[in-house]
C-alpha cells in the first residue's frame, strides 16, 4: 500500500525545477532517476551504475537484448542538461543500416535525437585519464555517415540509440517515453 502511494506521488515529480540551487537540483534528479529505475527494472532495483565516464545508468531487459538507460544530469559535450539516453550497445557487425534507420525514426517519433559514441576510450585511455585526475574521453555524434564509417572500422558501439531532454518533464512522462522507445525497438 505504501509503495503504491509513493509511486503515485512521484508520478508528477519533475527532473528539474527552475531556481533550485545545485544541491537540490542534483537531489531532485537522483530521486527521479531512482524512481524511474524502480519502475522500469524492478527486478534489478536498486542497482544504479556509474559508467567509466562518470554518468549514471541502469539496464532494462527487452526483446532486443539488454538496453541501457543513461542519465546526464549536468549535460555533456554541448548537449544541454539534463538528458537521458536509451542505448543498445552493439558490435559493429551487429549494426546495419536497417537498425540505424529504425533508431532515427524512433528518435523522430519521440522528440529525441539519434546518436552514437564517436570517441570510445580503450581501457588504457580510461586508466590513463584516471591517473591524471581527468574524465575519460567520450563524445557523441548524430552524423549517419560518421557512424557508418565507424561501423566499417569495426568499433564496438558502447553507446548507440536515442537521447532526449528530461528538463521540466515528470517521472511519469519520461517513463512513458522510455517504454514507447523500447516498444518501438522491439517491433520488427
pLDDT per position as a tens digit, 85-119: 999 888 888 888 888 888 998 888 878 888 888 76
- Distance CA(38)–CA(74), nearest Å, equals 22
Cα–Cα nearest to 79, from 57, 112, 104, 107 = 112
Q: How far apart are CA 42 and CA 60, in angstroms?
A: 9
What CA–CA distance (Å, rounded) separates 103 from 105?
A: 5
* pLDDT above 60 for 188: yes
Q: pTM value?
A: 0.84
| Helix or strand (DSSP H, E) at 121 | none
Q: What percent of the chain has pLDDT over 70?
A: 93
Q: pLDDT by residue (tens digit) across 132-175?
A: 998 777 778 888 898 888 888 887 888 889 999 998 899 999 99
- Spell out the alpha helix ranges (H) of the chain: 2-10, 22-40, 97-109, 123-131, 144-152, 171-186
Per-domain residue ranges of the chain: 2-186
Amino acid at each position: 500500500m505504501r509503495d503504491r502511494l509513493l509511486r503515485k506521488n512521484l508520478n508528477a515529480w519533475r527532473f528539474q525545477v527552475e531556481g533550485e540551487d545545485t544541491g537540490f537540483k542534483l537531489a531532485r534528479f537522483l530521486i527521479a532517476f531512482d524512481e524511474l529505475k524502480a519502475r522500469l527494472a524492478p527486478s534489478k532495483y536498486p542497482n544504479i551504475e556509474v559508467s567509466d565516464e562518470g554518468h549514471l545508468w541502469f539496464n532494462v531487459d527487452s526483446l532486443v537484448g539488454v538496453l541501457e538507460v543513461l542519465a546526464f544530469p549536468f549535460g555533456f559535450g554541448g548537449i544541454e542538461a539534463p538528458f537521458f539516453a536509451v542505448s543498445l550497445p552493439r558490435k559493429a557487425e551487429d549494426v546495419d543500416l536497417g537498425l540505424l534507420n529504425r533508431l532515427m525514426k524512433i528518435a523522430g517519433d519521440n522528440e529525441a535525437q539519434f546518436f552514437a559514441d564517436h570517441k570510445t576510450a580503450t581501457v588504457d585511455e580510461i586508466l590513463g585519464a584516471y591517473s591524471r585526475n581527468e574524465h575519460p574521453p567520450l563524445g557523441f555524434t548524430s552524423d549517419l555517415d560518421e557512424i557508418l564509417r565507424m561501423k566499417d572500422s569495426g568499433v564496438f558501439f558502447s553507446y548507440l540509440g536515442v537521447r532526449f531532454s528530461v528538463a521540466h518533464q515528470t517521472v511519469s512522462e519520461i517513463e512513458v517515453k522510455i517504454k514507447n522507445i523500447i516498444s518501438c525497438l522491439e517491433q520488427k
